[in-house]
A and B are shown apart, each in its own frame.
Chain A
Amino acid sequence: GDSVTQMEGPVTLSEEAFLTINCTYTATGYPSLFWYVQYPGEGLQLLLKATKADDKGSNKGFEATYRKETTSFHLEKGSVQVSDSAVYFCALTQGAQKLVFGQGTRLTINP
């Protein structure tokens, strides 16, 4: 079945550092790809998405590019802030909308 693998956390960075969280997927067909973010004690918020190969999703300084050749959707941000501390989930869906999530990556940004 379809699956998503994320880099293991936790990830700890200093403010203004460059962030990369790796995400690779296994899927038959052509999935849509998502990054969701979960702040402490809250539900999931959609961060960005891409629906076809070579699409770049972006939001709040975060970016991810759908790479079909490497089946990847890595999340990047050029300069992180303390407020970016959260758990980040990579996910995919095909056609009928069941979201398949990775295990999540906990990110902590120190001032």
Chain B
Amino acid sequence: DAGVTQSPTHLIKTRGQQVTLRCSPKSGHDTVSWYQQALGQGPQFIFQYYEEEERQRGNFPDRFSGHQFPNYSSELNVNALLLGDSALYLCASSFGLLETQYFGPGTRLLVL
């Protein structure tokens, strides 16, 4: 039973560029949430997708956007990258909106 997978594992970008991160949920899960974890900090909620719609959003600017596909996989897009966007980006999946979330290994983004 495959768990949550994310790609790529590492990414280096420069300021102003755009990046797309990908997530495949655990088998049987239909809800995907994204979190940003800065070095030495706890994860911060970015947004959540269910039935291909954004259901909740944290305190992140519109530069952060996402998408969920019919197969429940999801993308996180960040435009106009800033140095402060350097972080570990975590994807979590669950079955429905009220169930326990399971995390992937994350994508480490470095913005130079």
Contact = CB atoms under 8 A, between A and B. Distances in A.
Interface string A86-106: 000101000111111111100
Contact of B103 (A36, A49, A96): A36
Contacts, number: 61
Q: How large is the interface on A (under 10, 10 to 19, 20 to 34, 35 or more residues)?
A: 20 to 34
Contacts of B99: 97
A34 to B, nearest CB: 8
A101 B48 CA distance: 16
A95 B41 contact: no
Contacts of A98: 33, 45, 48, 56, 58
Contacts of A42: 105-106
Given A45-B103, A97-B56, A104 B41 contact: yes
A99 B33 contact: yes
Interface string A20-55: 000000000000001010000011111001000000
A45 B42 CA distance: 13
Interface stretch (B62-70, B75-83, B90-98): B90-98
A44 B43 contact: yes
B35 interface: yes
Contact of B97 (A36, A97, A100): A97
Given A43-B90, A102-B42, A104-B42, A97 B48 contact: yes
Contact of A43 (B44, B98, B103): B103
A46 B48 contact: no
A46 B16 CA distance: 35
B100 A46 contact: yes
B6 to A, nearest CB: 8
Given A97-B94, A99-B43, A46 B102 contact: yes
Interface of B: 4, 6, 31, 33, 35, 40-45, 48, 55-56, 58, 90, 92, 94, 97-106
9 contacts: A42-B106, A43-B103, A44-B43, A44-B90, A46-B100, A46-B102, A97-B31, A98-B33, A98-B48
